[in-house]
Amino acid sequence: MLMGLFPRFRWHLSRTEKVMYLTFDDGPHPEITLEVLDILRIHQAKATFFCVGENVSKYPDVVGRILTEGHTIGNHTHRHLNGWKTNWNDYKEDVEQASREIQAATGVRPRLFRPPYGRIGLQAAWVLPRAYQVVMWDVVAGDFVQDWTAEKVRENVLKNAKEGSVVVFHDSPKAHARLILALKSTLIHFGELGFRFEALPQG
């Protein structure tokens, strides 16, 4: 199992408390990310946004709002690179460029990293944990799957998420319609069960 192969990566947190960690990949987006932030604020929920450097450079104000509202930000590479198809030197520079963009926009260097597609090369898997907490997940919402309905995404999250889960959503156009229903349902359902939604700690 992948968790066993990469024990230094974070796949989930403590299973002993009713706390869940919602994460959003591929943003920031000038409309979708703001909609997500509005929903999180209504439910008094905190989350973590794994941002693509190119998008950070385009929408620094959105990134600023993420931090201002108490969420955390992670590095998702600069150009959303596939770690299985990119040589280490190019990948390393792309990750560093994303960190520079995030720091320029926020004044804070990110300490969290998530590889796009969950695909990371062996050298990256060995070296990057020295500088970042590499965060994976134990629940993939599936909001990016084009032939899934919003209801299927919702059911997937409600069935599989539990104490300590790190749940992956995407604040991107391809996921938007499925994301919003699933996110609202997750917050309502688990909120009624007494769960808190917290941002991942930096590092």
Identify whether 71 is a catalytic site residue.
no
Residue 118 half-sphere exposure toward CB, CA atoms < 13 A: 13
> Terminal CA-to-CA distance of the chain, rounded, Å?
24
Select which of 12, 25, 94, 138 is catalytic. 25
Instruction: Give the chain's largest Cα–Cα span.
Output: 47
Identify whether 189 is a catalytic site residue.
no
CA 85 – CA 107 distance, rounded (Å): 31
- C-alpha closest to that of 26 among 83, 78, 66, 72: 78
SS3 assignment, position 36: helix
| Identity at 108, one-letter amino acid code | V
CB 171 within 8 A of CB 1: no
Select which of 12, 80, 170, 171 is catalytic. 170
CA 53 – CA 190 distance, rounded (Å): 32
Instruction: List the catalytic residues.
Output: 25, 170
